[in-house]
Chains A and B, each alone.
Chain A
Amino acid sequence: MVKRISALVLAGALTLSLAACGGNNDKAAPSNEGGSKSSGEKKVVKILHWKQENINKAMEEINADFEKKYPEYKVEYTTTGPDDEYKQAQRARITANDVDVLADLSGMRLSPQDWTPGAKTPDWQQWIDSGLIADLSGQELVKNWNANDIEKAGTYNGKVYAVPTGKVAMSGLFYNKQIFEDNGLKVPTTWSEFLKLCEDLKAKGITPIGVAGKDVWPLKLPVFALQAKILGGGDQQKWIEGVWKGETAFNDAEAVEVLDKMKTIQDNYMIDGFMGIDYASAPAIFATGKVAMLADGSWDAPTIATANPDLKFGYFPVPATEDAAKNASFVGKYDVTWYVAEKGPNKEGGLKWLEFFSQPENYTKFVKAAGFIPTQDNISTDSEFIDNELTPYLGDFELAYEIMMINRENVGEHLAAEGVHTEYLAPGGQFKTAKELADVQQKEWEAAAPR
């Protein structure tokens, strides 16, 4: 209250002094077309993002540079907890028209298709349809980005609404090179090699795999590999369309194979009590050598490197089948994707910020810290991890199941959030076999069919 009054007084004083100066500094006087309330104050650009330390740091630097270059702006960078908490904040802010630039957890996805009658419309699409998101098509900044990536992850109804800032691989396992070397092990390329590797590790008293089961979603990551390579004989899209048309099913042989393979891993090779490990402590468990491998997304590489700078580690795709060639590619998604709010307090400032962010030199800073695969051309990340560990498997970068699977509305919890939820198969979960879970899933899918 007091603050607000004093801010008003201050604003008033500034306007007066500006008026007194007359017309000699036209440039400094803000044009105020962005609808920002303040006339003499700096114009605030509100950016909403989630907590992820390595990225947050880079963002703060970029924001500081932005303020330096455009002194008339001030960036208010808010971060919340990740996942659901972020989703809630995102929604609250956009509903209140209280944000200018906001991140989404992935590129545009899950838009209903003609073969998905009664599918639910994702938030981003409802926002665009309600005129809450700024149309970026025609903006100079769009040209900085790879046209294909923009098309895939930022375009809706022929217009560009979002900028995906990088790709990440999700379907891999980090592995401790030292442990592999000491025990004469090499990166597996087929499912049976993979099982053999895990057995060998176990025989030597080394826990094969760690995962943050308490957060549940990290369990999805290895499953993405299995789904991409097994469902539809390696054509997920076909399988997903099939499930809508009744040609494939959640309890058909392929889907059960996916669940069954993940169950094998969970039952035999995961660290004891993995369902009790939370996501934030997983990198440390891997970095301190408690496990030989870690199921995690490639975005966590910088965090692992921070947890133990001396650790030598690599990343390979979970080999889902016996076909080595088919296994040798990652499945992933577009990560942090920026939208500019149409009705925010300062749309013009938001666009200005995004334009600044899109400059190759600023973007390079960001993408280096984030550990993403760049979505601008000709960006050199100087990252050994990306060059040596990711690039060899990027031949045909496929999107993960959760990005492609369009869900029915009000679908049951065993299929909710575009996953197949193998946590229910974990030791302690209520399903003893993969088939049992698969049958329940198929039943829930049918029950959610539109009336």
Chain B
Amino acid sequence: MKNSKSFTVLSYAVIALLLVLYVVPLILVLNVSIKSYPEYLMNPIGLVKEIQWSNYATAWTEGNFANYFLNSVIYTGVATVLTIIVSVMGAFPVARGYVKWAGFIYLFFLLSQFLPNPMVAQYKLMLSMRESLDMFGYDTKLGYIILKTSGTGVVFMMFVGYIKSISRELDEAAGMDGSGYLRYLFQMILPLMKPVIATGVILTAIGIWNDFVGPIMYLPSKVNYPITFGLKEFKGQYGNNWPLLACGITIVAAPLIVLYTFIQKYLVDGALAGAVKS
């Protein structure tokens, strides 16, 4: 289809303007992160003159990132994988109607998006679990991971939408061949869901990696701190030592950006699934 020239030019102009709004803050952070503190005080926004890579090393140790990093990798990795598995277990039979009242279950799960804020009771629940089960619940890694694992959120809904677009005949063919339900689910369906799983992974991982409210409530011990707490170590101690804080920001953000660059080409397909069926 033809596009008028002026419209195209206008499009580029608008996009360029927005790009500035999105890219400048990020460049600023990178720029500040490699300034020495005195240079930052003299000239907070100018281009860096003497690059201080050592800031990153300092930030890494002072922010205690080594331990927190590992914790966050565990939380994010395990809870994301569990969320994907559990969501498939829920989404497939609901999308296909292989369980009774599939429509009702879908709505019931959808309700999770706007139930009354469960914070108060959730907190009490975690405490009592800790008391009776000890290695599960409040202030345990496992407890936090399970709390963050959900088979009913946005991921579940995207999966349902996507599975509906996979032909039913495939099920029947597999059933004829005598394939079991579980094997079919994880060996046939799961690989077909690649784009939507990629989307699910990135969305879930974002939520857990960047969570800083949940850990305040449920992970009070230093051994359990996630990576976002590293940023807080700077806040109290250094006030406005922005160069180190900027390094901290970069350290926290980098791993997910890497994950994102691998996954991003699937994102639209995944979102498509979310939009097809609401």
Q: Hey, which bits of chain A sit against chain B, CB under 8 A?
A: 1, 4, 51-53, 76, 78, 81-82, 85, 88-89, 92-93, 95-96, 98, 278-281, 284
Q: A78-B220, A81-B235 are in contact. Are A1 and B142 (CB under 8 A)?
A: yes
B240 in complex: contacting residue of A92, A93, A280, CB < 8 Å: A280
When chains A and B are docked, how far (Å) is the Cα of A278 from the Cα of B232? 15
Q: Is the CB of A53 within 8 A of B141?
A: no
B135 surroundings in chain A (CB, below 8 A): 1, 4
A53 to B241, CA, bound (A): 15
0 or 1 for each of B178-202: is its CB under 8 Å from A? (1 = yes): 0000000000000000000000000
Look across to chain A and name the residue whose beta carbon is closest to the beta carbon of B135: A4
Complex Cα distance A278/B135, Å?
40
Chain B residues proximal to chain A, CB less than 8 Å: 127, 130, 135, 138-139, 141-142, 216-217, 220-222, 232, 235-240
- Contact partner, A92, options B141, B142, B220, Cβ 8 Å: B220
Cβ–Cβ contact B237 & A53, under 8 A: yes
Complex: how many Å from CA A76 to CA B142?
21
Secondary structure at the A interface, as helix, strand, loop or mixed, is: helix
Residues of chain B contacted by A4 (CB below 8 angstroms)? 135
The listed residue (B130, B138, B141) touching A1 by CB distance below 8 A is: B141
Residues A98 and B139 in contact in the complex (CB < 8 Å), given A78-B222, A81-B232: yes
Complex Cα distance, B232 from A321, in Å, reads: 42
When distances are taken between beta carbons in the complex, the residues of chain B under 8 Å from A78 are: 220-222
> Given known contacts A51-B237, A85-B216, what 7 new A-B pairs fall within 8 Å (CB)?
A1-B141, A81-B236, A96-B130, A96-B138, A98-B139, A280-B237, A280-B238
| Chain B residues within 8 Å of A88, by CB | 216
* Assembly CA distance A82 to B232 (angstroms): 11
Q: List 30 A-B contacts (CB under 8 A).
A: A1-B141, A4-B135, A51-B236, A51-B237, A52-B236, A53-B236, A53-B237, A76-B221, A76-B222, A81-B232, A81-B236, A82-B236, A85-B216, A89-B216, A89-B220, A92-B220, A93-B220, A96-B127, A96-B130, A96-B138, A96-B139, A96-B220, A278-B240, A279-B239, A280-B235, A280-B237, A280-B238, A280-B239, A280-B240, A284-B240
CA distance A281 to B37 in the complex (A): 13
Q: Which of chain B's residues has its CB closest to A278's CB? A: B239
The residue on A at minimum CB distance from B237 is: A53
Q: Determine the chain A residues whose CB is within 8 A of the CB of B239 once the complex forms.
A: 278-281, 284
Closest 10 CB pairs of A and B: A280-B239, A51-B236, A281-B239, A281-B240, A96-B127, A81-B236, A96-B138, A78-B222, A4-B135, A92-B220
* In the complex, chain B residues whose CB is within 8 Å of the CB of A81: 232, 235-236
**Residues of chain B with a CB closer than 8 A to A51's CB:** 236-237
Q: Which residue of B lies closest to A303 (CB)?
A: B239
In the assembly, what is the distance between CA of A302 and CA of B238, in Å? 15
B139 neighbours in A (Cβ, 8 Å)? 96, 98
Chain B residue with the shortest CB-CB distance to A51? B236
Please name the residue on chain A nearest to B235 by beta carbon: A81
**Cα distance, A266 to B238, chains bound together (Å):** 26
* A282 to chain B: closest residue by CB: B239
Q: How far is B143's CA from A1's CA once the two chains are assembled, in angstroms? A: 10
Nearest to A4 among chain B residues (CB) is B135
Contacting residues, chain A, for B222 (C-beta < 8 A)? 76, 78
Interface centre among B135, B238, B239 (most CB of A within 10 A): B239
Closest B residue, CB atoms, query A52: B236
CA distance A88 to B232 in the complex (A): 15
Residues of chain B contacted by A76 (CB below 8 angstroms): 221-222
Q: Write out the residue numbers on chain A whose beta carbons fall within 8 Å of the beta carbon of B236.
A: 51-53, 81-82, 280
Q: Which residues of B contact A284 (CB under 8 A)?
A: 239-240
Q: How many Å lie between the Cα of A96 and that of B237 in the bound state?
A: 28
Q: How far is the CA of A81 from the CA of B215 in the complex (A)?
A: 14
* Cβ distance A306 to chain B, nearest Cβ, rounded Å: 12
